[in-house]
């Protein structure tokens, strides 16, 4: 069976990585992951991170880097990305005041061309990692996410679909991956169970947000194969559109340790021949 390299989003084990980065990455390697996607530097500098990952032969293929950091000091961000040996750098999240449909959204779009150009000069592709708020309908009928991608060429901005949030938004993740064939080099694999539409979903991903009063239901992140996602269909779509990597991410684990959850996801993928 065809398959792609399987990475682990270090955000899944962020507390363990911050406590002892070398020990955490050693465990990631032992679980059978073939690389990682970073989100921060875990109290170290880029050179120290690179040294650990090189020793373990566990490359940092991609990293989530806040847009605010890119805007504030793109020189420093690109310099660290080069030291880390990144192939991809992803805009991971937009705060409420910058999302599609807000007055500041245009400023987000205006910032991307220069940021993308600076990364491309370093041989790094800029990605956008979605949640569900980008699927808001815009005045012209497109979703906010379509607006983002329609504004730029694939070279300027490629896609890193988070398949959990695509599904939460009411879309089929495999169909959405097909929609952007040719600009989806990295796919986030994430499973969950949800009933209704609970409030405060973004608190579950470790983000500080204002309290939402409206919403009813339940939500829980799950290891791959234990939730509502059709993971085989998502994997097939990733292969179909020419993706290069899949990234396992579980923002929060409620019934086992983060590493136990990461192990369960890796075992499930192995059972599918990945």
Name the pTM for this structure.
0.94
What is the rounded distance in angstroms from the CA atom of residue 5 to the CA atom of residue 117? 27
* Domain 6-271, CATH number (from 3.30.565.60, 3.20.20.150, 3.40.640.10, 3.30.565.40): 3.20.20.150
Render 220-266 in DSSP notation, one character per residue. Answer: EEE-TTSSS--HHHHHHHHHHTT--EEEE--S--SSS-HHHHHHHHH
pLDDT at 203 over 80: no
- pLDDT tens-place string over residues 235-268: 999 999 999 999 999 999 999 999 999 999 999 9
- Residues 67 and 43 sit within 8 Å (Cβ to Cβ): no
pLDDT at 53 over 80: yes
pLDDT of residue 218: 86
Tracing tokens 């300027």 back to the chain, one arrives at 156
What is the rounded distance in angstroms from the CA atom of residue 253 to the CA atom of residue 246? 20
Radius of gyration of the chain, Cα coordinates, nearest whole angstrom: 18
CA atoms within 13 A on the CB side of 158: 23
What is the rounded distance in angstroms from the CA atom of residue 274 to the CA atom of residue 203? 31
pLDDT at 207 over 60: no
How confident is residue 202, by pLDDT bands cut at 50, 70 and 90? low
pLDDT of residue 240: 98
Closest of 163, 65, 167 to residue 116, by C-alpha: 65
Buried b (16+ CB within 10 A) or exposed e, 233-270: ebbebbbebebebbbbbbbebeeeebbebbbbbbebbe
The answer to whether the Cα torsion of 117, 84, 266, 240 is positive or negative is positive
What is the rounded distance in angstroms from the CA atom of residue 237 to the CA atom of residue 184? 10
- pLDDT tens-place string over residues 61-89: 999 999 999 999 999 999 999 999 999 99
Q: What is the DSSP letter of 217?
A: E
What is the rounded distance in angstroms from the CA atom of residue 256 to the CA atom of residue 200? 22
Residue ranges per domain, the chain?
6-271
Closest of 212, 162, 159 to residue 192, by C-alpha: 162
Supply the mean pLDDT for the chain: 94
Enumerate long-range contacts of 193-202, CB under 8 Å, 24 or more apart.
193/218, 193/219, 193/220, 193/222, 193/227, 193/228, 194/168, 194/218, 194/219, 194/220, 194/228, 195/219, 201/132, 201/168, 202/131
């Amino acid at each position: 069976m065809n398959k792609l390299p399987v990475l682990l989003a270090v955000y899944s084990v962020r507390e363990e990585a911050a406590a002892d980065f070398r020990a955490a990455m050693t465990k990631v390697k032992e679980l059978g992951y073939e690389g990682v996607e970073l989100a921060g530097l875990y109290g170290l500098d880029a050179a120290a991170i690179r040294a650990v990952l090189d020793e373990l032969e566990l490359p940092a293929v991609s990293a989530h880097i806040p847009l605010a950091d890119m805007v504030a000091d793109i020189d420093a961000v690109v310099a660290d990305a080069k030291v880390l040996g990144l192939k991809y750098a992803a805009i991971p999240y937009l705060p409420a005041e910058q999302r599609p449909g807000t007055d500041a959204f245009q400023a987000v779009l205006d910032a991307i061309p220069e940021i993308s150009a600076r990364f491309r000069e370093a041989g790094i592709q800029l990605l956008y990692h979605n949640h569900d708020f980008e699927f808001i309908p815009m005045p012209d009928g497109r979703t906010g996410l379509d607006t983002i991608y329609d504004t730029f060429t694939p070279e300027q901005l490629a896609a890193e679909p988070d398949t959990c949030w695509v599904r939460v938004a009411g879309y089929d993740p495999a169909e959405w991956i097909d929609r952007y064939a040719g600009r989806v080099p990295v796919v986030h694999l994430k499973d969950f169970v949800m009933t209704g539409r609970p409030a405060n979903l973004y608190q579950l991903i470790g983000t500080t947000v204002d309290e939402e009063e409206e919403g009813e239901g339940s939500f829980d992140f799950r290891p791959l194969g234990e939730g509502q996602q059709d993971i085989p269909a998502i994997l097939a779509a990733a292969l179909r559109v020419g993706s290069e990597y899949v990234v396992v991410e579980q923002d929060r684990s409620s019934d086992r340790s983060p590493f136990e959850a990461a192990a369960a996801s890796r075992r499930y993928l192995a059972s599918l021949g990945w």
